[in-house]
Amino acid sequence: MQSFGIALGVLLFSFILTSVAIVPFINLLYSLRFQRQKQMSTDNFGKLTPIFNKFHAVKAGVPVGGGLLVIAVVSLVFAALLPLMKYFGQEITSVHRSIGAEINIIFFSFFSFGILGLYDDIKKFFKIPKSGFFGLRMKHKFILELILALIISIMMYQQLGISFINIPFVGTFNLGLMFIPFATFTIVAFANAINVTDGLDGLAAGSLMISLFGLWLLSASILDVPLSVFIAVWIGSLISFLYFNVFPARLFMGDVGSLSFGATLAVIGLLLGKVFALVVIGFIFVLEISSSLAQLMSKKFRNKSLIPAAPFHLTLQSLGWEEPKIVQRAWLVQIMLTIFGVWLTVIR
């Protein structure tokens, strides 16, 4: 209970710190001209998306890169907090053998995918040509994602001995070495899923915040203090960011945030051994990436669209749904999915 109280406190502190820093950070992004450009007409698969331009042209000029501030605040607060907890005699427990290895894995995921996303933002907004060392194409970026995810998966398997998944009502299964490709796929899938979902004001950030509350409850219930505190700090910073990200947004998270947050969300689910629950809790993200993949496959093999537009939120817009309505209803669905996912993990 004491560690949960500390987590609540650091959530509030992280929220306040981000709130103090966010307006100067937005002004810095304006000065650097790190802003959404007009006619950003390609999706994550390099295909033209005129519907996106139709509904989102008004967003041109809004600063992008809020995810970088969240990463910085969470990292600084967490780095200062654990030594303080040890100094004041707070016991730091974890379900894993090595607390240090667990923390290293979390932050390697947080930073490495964030750096890759930041590169992608810089490339897009400063229009770096797709040639030479700094002009990596989409397929090269995907290969880098696979390499990073593979490194993280090997770290979890070798340093923490994680090789299991839990399926509610069925049991726990040890995948052995197959855990590595399974975890790699999961990390890459969620990194790109949140990246695809981040298309409407507040959609990705709000859904992620709700998902993290569910995973926070799970980590606190098994007394994994480092994981519980990390999620609490992350939620606090994310709430402050969301205040400026809701419609009409004054700040977007950018690829630096979406790739980092998606990969780290997946890693937390894998560390908890709750991948099935993660799919339920993160179903909004799964739906978005699945709709994009299904649309791509349909166009490639059937030469026609499966749905009016992908990802799914663009289909809803094309059907006449207003952006705030889509986002608010997605949050409500996300709340119930998170409750359901947590329930699945605690039910006996």
In the predicted structure, residue 171 carries a pLDDT above the cut 90: no
Report the pLDDT value the prediction gives residue 300, as an integer from 0 to 100.
Answer: 85
Tell me if 156 sits within 8 A of 105, measured CB to CB: yes
Tell me if 245 sits within 8 A of 313, measured CB to CB: no
Instruction: Say how many CA atoms lie within 13 Å of 205 toward its Cβ.
Output: 29
Token pair for 216:
């926070």
Report the pLDDT value the prediction gives residue 133, as an integer from 0 to 100.
Answer: 46
Report the pLDDT value the prediction gives residue 46, as an integer from 0 to 100.
Answer: 42
Could you report the per-residue pLDDT of 230-250, keeping only the tens digit for each? 999 999 999 999 999 999 999
In the predicted structure, residue 135 carries a pLDDT above the cut 70: no
Helix 2-32 crosses helix 225-245 at what angle (to 10 degrees)? 40
Percent share of the chain, pLDDT over 90: 65
User: Torsion angle of alpha carbons 77, 80, 221, 185, nearest 10°?
Assistant: 60
Of residues 141 and 42, more confidence is placed in: 141
Tell me if 193 sits within 8 A of 282, measured CB to CB: yes
In the predicted structure, residue 168 carries a pLDDT above the cut 50: yes
**How confident is the prediction for the chain on average, in pLDDT?**
88
Could you report the per-residue pLDDT of 273-332, keeping only the tens digit for each? 889 999 999 999 999 999 999 999 998 888 888 898 889 999 999 999 999 999 999 999
In the predicted structure, residue 162 carries a pLDDT above the cut 80: yes
Q: Using CA atoms, how far apart are residues 210 and 217, in angstroms rounded to an integer?
A: 11
Percent share of the chain, pLDDT over 70: 88
Q: Give the contacts of 304 (CB within 8 A, at least 6 positions apart).
A: 298
Report the pLDDT value the prediction gives residue 75, as an integer from 0 to 100.
Answer: 96
Could you report the per-residue pLDDT of 103-119, keeping only the tens digit for each? 999 999 999 999 999 99
Report the pLDDT value the prediction gives residue 194, as an integer from 0 to 100.
Answer: 97
Among candidates 121, 59, 126, 123, which has minimal Cα distance to 257?
A: 121
Tell me if 183 sits within 8 A of 156, measured CB to CB: yes
Q: Using CA atoms, how far apart are residues 300 and 184, in angstroms rounded to an integer?
A: 26
Q: How many distinct structural domains can be found in the chain?
A: 1
Report the pLDDT value the prediction gives residue 33, as an integer from 0 to 100.
Answer: 86
Q: Using CA atoms, how far apart are residues 46 and 120, in angstroms rounded to an integer?
A: 13
Three-state DSSP at 256 gives helix
The range of the structural domain enclosing residue 186 comes to 2-346
Looking at residues 46-75, what average pLDDT do you find? Answer: 81
Looking at residues 49-56, what average pLDDT do you find? Answer: 67
In the predicted structure, residue 27 carries a pLDDT above the cut 80: yes
Report the pLDDT value the prediction gives residue 15, as an integer from 0 to 100.
Answer: 97
In the predicted structure, residue 73 carries a pLDDT above the cut 50: yes
